[in-house]
Amino acid sequence: MNVTLVQQDLVWADAPQNHERFEAALLAAPGSDLYVLPEMWNTGFVMQPAPVAQSPDGPSLRWMHCMARQLDAALAGSIAVRLADGSYVNRLYFVTPDGVAAHYDKHHLFSYGGETRCYTPGRERVVAEWRGVRFLLLVCYDLRFPLWSRCRDDYDAILYVASWPTRRELAWRTLLRARAIENQCYVVGVNRVGSDPVCDYFGGSAFVNPYGEAQECPDGVPATLTGTIDLPFLRHFRDKFPVLAERD
Q: Cβ contacts of residue 164 below 8 Å, gap of 6+?
A: 140, 172, 191, 201, 202, 204
Q: Give CA–CA dist 163/142, Å, rounded.
A: 12
Start-to-end CA span in the chain (Å):
30
DSSP state of 167: G
Across 46-62, b (16+ Cβ under 10 Å) vs e yields bbebeebbbeeebebbe
Active site residue 23: no
- Of 118, 140, 151, 185, the catalytic one is 140
Active site residue 39: yes
Active site residue 240: no
Which DSSP helix (H) or strand (E) runs through 27? helix 15-27
Report which residue type is found at 203. Answer: G
Q: Which residues are catalytic?
A: 39, 106, 140
